[in-house]
A = this chain, B = another copy of it.
Amino acid sequence: MTRRRDMQLQTLAIVGVGLIGGSVGLAVRRCSGGTRIIGVDGDSAALLCAKERGIVDEIATDVRSATAAADMVLFCTPVDSLAGQVLSAAAGARPGTVLTDAGSTKSTIVNSVEQRIPSEVWFVGGHPLAGSEKQGPRHADAELFRDRVVVLTPTAQTNEQAITRVTGFWQLLGARVLRMSPEAHDRAMAATSHLPHLVASALAGVLPLELIGLAASGFRDTTRIAAGDPALWSAILDANRDETLAALTRFEDRLKAFRLAIATGDREAVRNLLAAGRELRTAIKGDR
């Protein structure tokens, strides 16, 4: 009993109550009845919406005071300001407080935080592979993380007990937790997320305006993520610059192969390239 009580999350602070932070709040509410949730955001409209929707119990605009009251703090803020906020919060945290995040890139954040965080405060880098082109707490969804993957990126410096607690936290919300190094995470996300975002945006961006009435479901699917927030995504592409550019080079090489095959009328080569794409795509399980 004592042990279970120790493990239970008493007070969670969520910094950034947008789509991800808001969905975490709703999911915790559903899966962990006794937890008190403090929402922190610089955007007071988002905070009020989060309070109205019952995502959070209390609202705060100061990260330090919210952190001082919490056992765990989850940072769901843009990747370019995230490390600074974690470090600022850590300065006011009680020993043993677990700080974690939901940032889409990991190397820069984890390195920055680990270089300066006090040793008695614990940080675990994380990234739930769930989201949407929609934004804000009004789109928050308690089921957003169910059956989704959450990547944690501990290093040699990360406290094992903190990893266990953050792992248990996401599992409670229905997610499957994987561990990778920050570098492996960023390399993988360049291929699965950052390059696709850039490509979807470029595809939408070069469509002549007079043709939008002719865009059928294929175009809509392929470009859906291009509706994401340009400010958030320019920060992500910047934070994962080298890996994104390396993935872009591999993609451009594939386009060159397509161009050559199409230009020379080599239908078999085109078919083989298409078959390679189809094979990979149909190997992905669990579309929903």
Q: Is the CB of A130 within 8 A of B217?
A: yes
Closest to A255 in B: B202
Q: Is the CB of A287 within 8 A of B220?
A: yes
In the bound complex, residues from chain B placing their C-beta under 8 Å from that of A244 are 262
Within 8 A of B (CB), among A143-194: 148-149, 151, 178, 188-189, 191-193
Contact flags A187-220 to B (C-beta < 8 A → 1, else 0): 0110111011111111111111101111111111
> CA A153 – CA B205 in complex, angstroms?
27
- The interface stretch among A42-50, A82-90, A245-253 is A245-253
> CA A276 – CA B214 in complex, angstroms?
19
What count of chain A residues pass the 8 Å CB interface test?
87
Whether A270 contacts B238 in the complex (CB less than 8 A), given A202-B258, A221-B221, comes out as: yes
Would you call A30 an interface residue if the criterion is a C-beta within 8 Å of the partner chain's C-beta atoms? no
Within 8 A of B (CB), among A225-280: 225-228, 230-231, 233-235, 237-238, 241, 244-245, 247-248, 250-255, 258-259, 262-263, 265, 267-268, 270-278, 280
Would you call A131 an interface residue if the criterion is a C-beta within 8 Å of the partner chain's C-beta atoms? yes
Closest to A265 in B: B238
In the bound complex, residues from chain B placing their C-beta under 8 Å from that of A219 are 192-193, 196, 284
Q: Is the CB of B191 within 8 A of A208?
A: yes
29 A-B residue contacts at CB 8 Å? A129-B216, A131-B218, A149-B214, A189-B214, A192-B215, A192-B219, A196-B223, A197-B218, A199-B255, A200-B222, A200-B281, A201-B274, A202-B254, A202-B277, A205-B277, A205-B280, A209-B280, A212-B284, A226-B274, A227-B281, A228-B274, A228-B278, A233-B274, A238-B265, A238-B267, A241-B265, A245-B259, A245-B262, A248-B255
Besides A149-B213, A215-B284, 10 more A-B contacts (Cβ < 8 Å) are A130-B216, A203-B277, A204-B280, A206-B247, A218-B224, A219-B284, A224-B281, A227-B278, A237-B270, A245-B259
